[in-house]
Structure 1
């Protein structure tokens, strides 16, 4: 059951940063670097996207949208913003695009439940819908948590928060894990191809767009054979951490990795684990000394694209 504390508005989320890409070639540049079709991104839409290595491993992930005709915002993990900005800047070359750290220019908050309507947005909006209740304000619908709608709120720094009870960043982090859609952070850089975190099932990979770094590996993982790792929501009584290995029957051979973890409001911990599918049926999963209990995924996994 969802905690009754899971309602309201967070303070500005220190764990998140914002990259700004602006210029005549901003859309084309991002389109050539990310797993998402940025060229077709509409003003009322936000999309999950990943930046991959040439081997198809995720180096960062974003919630991205078109802020203005020639300007895009990419919300990502703050601990990866600097290296991500540096890597993207290596490929600008002659493109007419300027990349910058815009974190100080914006407040990014999490909204849950009735706070979404209080912000002037629709709690029933589908994940990825971007609403603009006021000038400079974006409310992006996210995947919900156990039946409670969630959204990302971004506004110029210092904008008054929408009405609502206070929601702690720790509870928001738990809701991110329980939603089954998690961001790449420093402990798990270069650890997963997008499908290992179900990104193709939550709209984070477009298989019809052109090339981007790692595209061949990502496409081959999807279309040439069964995916051997998937993401699963799990709970435990002991603390868990991103990057922690998960073991099954063989205590010497890891079968998965914790991609993200957070303490639950009512006690215990939640984790999103990238796990070998063969280990799911075997059971007996543990992270350290903590037994793991698998929870239902909040969305269906795509069998075909």
Structure 2
């Protein structure tokens, strides 16, 4: 698949809007008269509440509540939906959902080759006004990640579209984009972490990616039980790494005694920064002696997340609701 050439000037900071070509990301298309009904029973977010052109984060879980994939769901039209996720997860999720799709009038398709996903560091709306009148771009802007622009393959290769993009945006590297996602607290399930985490471990409950009112879906019982009856012992935290290579998803995190207390979700290295998101035991996250299991010389420093205040408020509310 051919990709468009993005603007060449180097990306420095958010003062200059910048686009990143998300070559590692794919798209799963779900369409048909039963598309909404089908998805509503399979994913954590409320599909029925999604307006045409709107998007929301979500996840697909096993019956035990473990996430097989996390995604950004966009409603393209009345009977068509697009799920953006790492390209490596598209075929696996398609195969899993196909087991249930036979009971619905619905079509599942790997549409990765049909779409170009562009990540934006900056505001999305000004960029949309610079595109040709009939650009066919889809704006993806919700609580589940940084703004994105999805272009049909034919529109993305249009000289007019590329010229307009190059005039208003610089180019961001994939590493810079991933680091921005980490600093925003936006983790994603990959092949090495599939079925390792429940949605609340990714803080999805404060990102609008879980509906607790929509009714049953695969894994709903476990997710709801954790929200109303359980105590979340592990959740997503952000760390800076003192040195060493960028850790891979799934790598263990240990305490001073060598006990495994967490697992890397996503990590990125850009310029002088090396940071990661990791699911860690809440009673151990504040420890000053955390390190990577495979690189014990690499010390971890806890950093804030934008969702910390929301998480604290949600926890307080949960405790009050459980009190007699």
Shared topology, TM-score over 0.5?
yes
Mapped to 1, the partners of 2:220 and 2:148 lie a distance apart of 28
The structural deviation recorded for 1:285 is 1.2
- Please say if residues 238 and 303 of structure 2, whose CA atoms lie closer than 8 Å, have aligned partners that are also in contact: yes
Matched, 1:119 2:128: yes
Aligned with residue 266 of structure 2, among 233, 241, 260: 260
Q: Deviations over 1:162-213 (max 9, x none)?
A: 2311111121111111110111111111110011110111111111111111
Matched with 2:7 is: none
- Please say if residues 58 and 192 of structure 1, whose CA atoms lie closer than 8 Å, have aligned partners that are also in contact: yes
Matched with 1:77 is: 86
The structural deviation recorded for 1:144 is 9.8
Aligned with residue 58 of structure 2, among 41, 49, 55: 49
Q: Deviations over 1:192-242 (max 9, x none)?
A: 001111011111111111111111111111111321011111111322221
Displacement over 6 Å in runs of 4+: none
Q: SS of the residue aligned with 1:154?
A: strand
Aligned with residue 228 of structure 1, among 233, 255, 268: 233
- Please say if residues 181 and 202 of structure 1, whose CA atoms lie closer than 8 Å, have aligned partners that are also in contact: no
Matched with 1:292 is: 300
Label 1:165 to 1:114 Cα distance change in 2 as closer, same or farther (>3 A). farther
- Could you state the TM-score of these two structures normalised by the residue count of structure 1? 0.88
Mapped to 1, the partners of 2:100 and 2:177 lie a distance apart of 34
- Please say if residues 20 and 177 of structure 2, whose CA atoms lie closer than 8 Å, have aligned partners that are also in contact: no
Aligned with residue 33 of structure 1, among 42, 63, 86: 42
Matched with 2:180 is: 175
Matched with 1:215 is: 220
Label 1:89 to 1:17 Cα distance change in 2 as closer, same or farther (>3 A). same
Q: SS of the residue aligned with 1:241?
A: coil
The structural deviation recorded for 1:56 is 0.5
Mapped to 2, the partners of 1:20 and 1:154 lie a distance apart of 13
Matched with 2:282 is: 277
Matched with 1:110 is: 119
Structure 2: gaps spanning 5 or more residues: 1-10, 319-324
Q: Single out whichever of 39-48 and 74-83 deviates more from structure 2.
A: 39-48
Larger radius of gyration: 2
Mapped to 1, the partners of 2:186 and 2:134 lie a distance apart of 27
Q: Please report the RMSD computed on the Cα atoms of aligned residues, expressed in angstroms.
A: 2.2
Q: SS of the residue aligned with 2:283?
A: helix
Label 1:204 to 1:227 Cα distance change in 2 as closer, same or farther (>3 A). same
Structure 1: gaps spanning 5 or more residues: 122-132
* Bigger fraction of residues in helix: 2
The structural deviation recorded for 1:11 is 4.6
Matched with 1:128 is: none
